[in-house]
Structure 1
Amino acid sequence: MAGYLIRRLGTAIIVVLGIALVTFLMLHIISPSPATDVLGQKASPAAIKAWNHANGFDRPWYDQFWTYISNLLHGDFGWSYKNNQTVNSMFAEKTPLSAFLSVSSVVVAILVALPLGIYQAIKRNTAGDVTATTLAFIFYSMPTFMVALLLIQVFALNLGWVDPNVSQNQSLTGALGSWQDLILPIISLSITQVASFSRYQRSAALDVLAQDYIKVARAKGLPERLVHTRHLVRNSALPMITLIGLSLPIVIGGNVLIEYAFNINGLGLMFINALQNDDYNVLMAYTLLTAILTVVGNLIADVLLSVSDPRIKLV
């Protein structure tokens, strides 16, 4: 296990550095310096030159990249010139709300998808299974922002059950004070995940139902309820561990369209604003954190699978 973790961590570091290099080069090619965005389009060449020199943007790109990586090793993601504050402080302000939305949506998706997938496997090819499968394909193929817009139109504008204007509280505590505003965003994030998770869960449950130990349990006269609870649920739930691990990047990347649609002051809306304002340090930090969470999520899923299933060996 220790050797496997060391190798995976080494690979993860190489992957993250590679992503950092590619992202840095892409942003450097698009615009070598944000001086014009900071000083304005009418800034004089002399002012731009002075600003670039003061902030190190007149140095070679590889020198700038090395400085950026050195700062990262000290936990410094740089300075947001547009917002006039550190990127670290911006993430500290907006991460709790985005994380709450993402974690809540994943929890809701698991609570719905796990029993739904098992039900579909047990009732295979029945009307209920066909209906659930059809809905899963529809919602899985729909863009997340389209789901959000439909929910806003139906439940906020047509029925008036919730307020379409989401609270602009930036803190998680403030947002929870208007918890009704978070219902539609969480449901919007959950629907597509339920569609995906339930399909995996159904497939896994069908594989388990075909195993010999299920047939032996039934041959011994064990009631179907016990067959399902003791053997089917536990063994078919293992693939969900992988899906949960792969869902970890949603904490950073999955909220972009939803937060934009509902105008929620989280990481997703911050990323959209950074794109519009060419706030490159924010874009770099967002990309790197998404990459780190992706690598960490895969690693956690592999470790949890090996712990849950002794048949899986990490080599």
Structure 2
Amino acid sequence: MIGYLARRIAQSVLVVFVVSVVVFLMLHRLPGGPRSMLGKTATPAQVAQLTRQLGLNKPLPVQYGKWVSNLLHGDWGFSITHNQSVTSLIGERLPKTLLLTTVSLAIAVLLAIVLGLLQAMRRNRFIDYLMTFISFVFYATPTFFLGLILVLLLAVQVPVFPSSAPQSNSIAGLVAHSNGLVLPITTLVLVSLALFSRYVRSSAIDQLTEDYARTARAKGASEARVLFRHVLRNVLIPVITLLGLSLPWVFSGALVVESVFNYPGMGLLFWQAATAHDYPILLSVTLVVSVATVVGSLLADLAYAVLDPRVRYS
């Protein structure tokens, strides 16, 4: 197990390094540069000064080495757009994104487990077809369109919830105005519910036909006992995979939803940085997402051994 962890950690470090190099080179090849960051009214002297300040006049290997060195010392750059260090910006936005995405993910997974198991027990019946139809409608609907529909119905036609998310600088302030979080969370839950529920349904149907399930029925166990006592643990294995792959989304934020509802999280920060050519923010957020990706994959692999004793890493 220790050897497996060591190899996976080494692979993860290599992946993060390659991703950082590729993203660094790609971002520096984009048009715009300092002039886009300063605006069209910037003078050549101001552009040259900012170019020197950011070190963009040096060779790319030197720039990359300087950026990595600063990262290791806790300096993630400075955002001219926000007039604030990138470290403090991420420190402000990341907890808000974790609140939004974690709550949405938890609700979506819990609902998906219930619906998926119900569909497996009632497979090929009316309730199964109805839930499949509804879930696929939400899954096929573009996220921004679903968010706008919810705003139109529940914020304009029937003003139950506000059309935009709360703008507090603290988690306590966001929770205090939790009615403003209902529509963003509902949008994220609806668009991700079908993905999880279909995996749960398919896995449950497969497990119900296994020998151990038939043996439990032969011993007199009810269908509900077979499902929740014997099958549920194995059903959760594909869900663990999806949760591991969802970790980057949890840390990076739901860009579309945060933009639609003006939610001050990582997704909105990345969108604003992309439109303003704010390279320090783009690089830092991409690095956070790449680290979350490899960590999520590693945690998913380790969770297999907990849920399925047959899995052993050597």
TM-score w.r.t. the length of structure 1 is: 0.95
Query: What corresponds to 1:291 in structure 2?
Result: 290
Tell me the SS of whatever aligns to 2:58: coil
The question of 1:61 aligning with 2:60 is answered: yes
Matches within 5 A, 1:9-28: 9-28=9-28
Query: What corresponds to 1:193 in structure 2?
Result: 192
Maintained 8 Å contact 1:145/1:258: yes
Maintained 8 Å contact 1:252/1:286: no
Matches within 5 A, 1:134-149: 134-149=133-148
Matches within 5 A, 1:184-263: 184-263=183-262
Residue identity in the other structure for 2:92: E
Tell me the SS of whatever aligns to 1:167: coil
The question of 1:98 aligning with 2:97 is answered: yes
Query: What corresponds to 1:70 in structure 2?
Result: 69
Query: What corresponds to 2:125 in structure 1?
Result: 126
Maintained 8 Å contact 2:161/2:179: yes
Maintained 8 Å contact 2:166/2:177: yes
Quote the offset at 1:188 in angstroms: 0.6
Q: Matched residues in 2 for 1:65 and 1:242: separation?
A: 33
Alpha carbons of 1:59 and 1:178: their partners in 2 closer, same or farther (altered >3 Å)? same
Residue identity in the other structure for 1:153: L
Residue identity in the other structure for 1:21: V
Residue identity in the other structure for 2:246: S
Q: Matched residues in 1 for 2:130 and 2:47: separation?
A: 62
Residue identity in the other structure for 2:231: L
Q: Matched residues in 2 for 1:147 and 1:54: separation?
A: 43
Residue identity in the other structure for 1:119: L
Residue identity in the other structure for 1:281: P
Maintained 8 Å contact 1:274/1:282: yes
Maintained 8 Å contact 1:144/1:258: yes
Quote the offset at 1:313 in angstroms: 2.2
Q: Matched residues in 2 for 1:236 and 1:249: separation?
A: 23
Residue identity in the other structure for 1:9: I
Quote the offset at 1:166 in angstroms: 2.8
Query: What corresponds to 1:5 in structure 2?
Result: 5
Matches within 5 A, 1:165-180: 165-180=164-179
1:173-200 per-position Cα deviation (integer Å, ceiling 9, x unaligned): 1111110000111111111221100000
5+ residue gaps, structure 1, are: none
Query: What corresponds to 1:37 in structure 2?
Result: 36
Tell me the SS of whatever aligns to 1:107: helix
Q: Matched residues in 2 for 1:202 and 1:252: separation?
A: 27
Alpha carbons of 1:23 and 1:219: their partners in 2 closer, same or farther (altered >3 Å)? same
Number of equivalent positions: 314
Maintained 8 Å contact 2:37/2:278: no
Maintained 8 Å contact 1:140/1:196: yes
Maintained 8 Å contact 1:170/1:266: no
Alpha carbons of 1:42 and 1:128: their partners in 2 closer, same or farther (altered >3 Å)? same
Query: What corresponds to 2:156 in structure 1?
Result: 157
1:112-163 per-position Cα deviation (integer Å, ceiling 9, x unaligned): 0001101111111000001111122222222222221111111111222112
Residue identity in the other structure for 1:29: R
Tell me the SS of whatever aligns to 1:9: helix
Quote the offset at 1:65 in angstroms: 0.8
Quote the offset at 1:31 in angstroms: 4.1
Alpha carbons of 1:39 and 1:126: their partners in 2 closer, same or farther (altered >3 Å)? closer
Q: Matched residues in 1 for 2:143 and 2:7: separation?
A: 36
Q: Matched residues in 2 for 1:51 and 1:61: separation?
A: 16
Maintained 8 Å contact 1:259/1:269: yes
Q: Matched residues in 1 for 2:161 and 2:217: separation?
A: 49
Tell me the SS of whatever aligns to 2:29: helix
Alpha carbons of 1:132 and 1:57: their partners in 2 closer, same or farther (altered >3 Å)? same
Maintained 8 Å contact 2:196/2:239: yes
Quote the offset at 1:209 in angstroms: 0.3
After superposition, the CA RMSD in angstroms is: 1.6
Query: What corresponds to 2:79 in structure 1?
Result: 80
